[in-house]
Amino acid sequence: MTSKAYRLVILSLYVAMALILSYIESLIPLPLPIPGAKIGLPNIITLVSLLTLGWPLTLLVVIARIFLSGFLFGGGFSIVYSLGGGLLSLLVMSLLLHFLKDKISIILVSVFGAISHNLGQVIVAAIVVQTTSLLLYFLFLMVLAIPTGIFIGVTARELMRLLGKTTIFSKLNLPQKK
Amino acid sequence: MKKNEIIIIVGLLAVSLIGIAAFYLINATDSPLSVRVTRQGEVLGIFPLSEDRTETFTDASGFNTLEITDGSAKMVAADCPDHICVKTYPISSPGETIVCLPHKLVVEVITGDS
């Protein structure tokens, strides 16, 4: 199989897995006083994709996942908020991995990704409903984003470690990551 | 994960917790409180928190029913798809908000009674 076709297969797998994780996440209600808070399970796939395919293809994974899960489980209105969060989070995580590649762990990247995801969503929400009073809500989300970000980061790191033992990524011509 | 990364994470946690504490301290007041209901920046009504009442806000997108009891406001019913506003805990301190994104409705506790 050519490297290009192989990459397409991996890309489709990522979209499918992220979509399933979105669905699983929508089934788990968090017993927390902060409404709308989520664990961020699809971010596991975003992180793995960033580390294996790089940001341009991960952008496709994120956009495809958001549109598909928005239409399937969320109701169309949620797409614009998810895009705000998903894209800002991807931007922050890509920049961190690009500039601090060897100095930063996946866990910290994940924590910053989780916080910026909330920030992106709150900014879009503030624009849509035209209010400036969502700061307190964002701070509550940020407190929660830290443990969920650590959890997602640890999961992504372990997943990378296990998948690294297989030959799945060997055809992607990756720069070898520790 | 290295030691300085743990410090960064603890720092982020501290920033957010201090932020929340500061928010409540700065906004703490003894003056009467009200709730302001806005849709896309347009004020639909301001109601004092001191008197119990139930208000329903309806537009093309649907309805939200807000109930004020014992000095706190809560969204008791809505026909939005996610019901996040209904799940939000009752609000009673200045600056606290209930947001219904699908209906673009914001309920906010403000200082003053007019």
- The verdict on B22 and B63 lying in the same domain is no
| Assigned token pair, A88 | 């800002």
- For chains A and B, what is the number of CB pairs under 8 angstroms? 87
Distance from CA of B6 to the nearest CA of A (A): 9
Q: Where are the domains of chain A?
A: 3-172
- Please state, in angstroms and rounded to a whole number, the distance separating the CA atoms of residues A147 and A107: 10
ipTM here: 0.81
B2 versus A24: which is more confidently predicted? A24
- The verdict on B56 and B81 lying in the same domain is yes
Kind of pairing, strands B42-48 and B105-111? Answer: unpaired
- The verdict on B38 and B23 lying in the same domain is no
Contact flag A136-B101 (C-beta cutoff 8 Å): no
- pTM score of the predicted model: 0.85
Instruction: Give the count of alpha carbons within 13 A of A22, CB side only.
Output: 25
- Per-residue pLDDT band for B114 (boundaries 50, 70, 90) equals low
- The verdict on B75 and B99 lying in the same domain is yes
Per-residue pLDDT of chain A (178 residues; tens, 9 = 90+): 567 888 888 899 999 999 999 888 888 877 666 777 788 899 999 999 998 888 889 999 999 999 998 888 766 777 888 899 999 999 999 999 988 887 888 899 999 999 999 999 899 988 888 887 788 888 988 999 999 999 999 999 999 889 888 877 776 765 544 3
To which residue do tokens 């949620």 refer?
Answer: A78
A29 versus B51: which is more confidently predicted? B51
Cβ(B80)–Cβ(B62) below 8 Å: yes
- The verdict on B15 and B40 lying in the same domain is no
* A75 to chain B: closest CA residue: B81
- Which positions ≥6 away from B66 have C-beta within 8 Å? B35, B37, B54, B55, B56, B57, B73, B74, B75, B76, B98, B107
Interchain CB contact of A107 with B (< 8 Å): yes
Distance from CA of B17 to the nearest CA of A (A): 7
- The verdict on B39 and B90 lying in the same domain is yes
Chain B partners of A139 at a C-beta cutoff of 8 Å?
16, 19-20, 23
pLDDT score of B89 more than 90: no
- The verdict on B24 and B35 lying in the same domain is no
Chain A partners of B20 at a C-beta cutoff of 8 Å?
136, 139-140, 143
- The verdict on B87 and B45 lying in the same domain is yes
Contact flag A35-B84 (C-beta cutoff 8 Å): yes
Kind of pairing, strands B62-69 and B72-78? Answer: antiparallel
Average confidence score pLDDT of chain B = 86
- Which positions ≥6 away from B28 have C-beta within 8 Å? B93, B94
- The verdict on B45 and B83 lying in the same domain is yes
- Which positions ≥6 away from B53 have C-beta within 8 Å? B47, B67, B68
The domain made up of A3-172 has a fold known as: Arp2/3 complex 21 kDa subunit ARPC3 (1.10.1760)
- The verdict on B40 and B16 lying in the same domain is no
In this prediction, residue A178 carries a pLDDT of: 39
- The verdict on B50 and B106 lying in the same domain is yes
* A77 to chain B: closest CA residue: B102
Mutation target for A interface from B72, B91, B97, B107: give the one with most A CBs within 10 A.
B97
- Please state, in angstroms and rounded to a whole number, the distance separating the CA atoms of residues A70 and A66: 6
Amino acid at B43: V
Chain B partners of A150 at a C-beta cutoff of 8 Å?
9
Domain count, chain B: 2
Chain centre distance of CA A34: 20
A115 versus B102: which is more confidently predicted? A115
- Please state, in angstroms and rounded to a whole number, the distance separating the CA atoms of residues A80 and B55: 29
Task: Tell me which residue range forms the domain holding B26.
Answer: 1-30
Select from B54, B50, B22 the least CA-distant residue to B37. B54
Contact flag B5-A107 (C-beta cutoff 8 Å): yes
- The verdict on B100 and B74 lying in the same domain is yes
* Pick from A107, A136, A143: CB nearest B95: A136
Interchain CB contact of A123 with B (< 8 Å): no
- Please state, in angstroms and rounded to a whole number, the distance separating the CA atoms of residues A151 and A111: 9
In this prediction, residue B2 carries a pLDDT of: 76
Assign 3-state DSSP to chain B and report helix, strand, coil percentages, each to 5: 25, 40, 30
Contact flag A142-B23 (C-beta cutoff 8 Å): no
Chain A partners of B9 at a C-beta cutoff of 8 Å?
108, 111, 146, 150
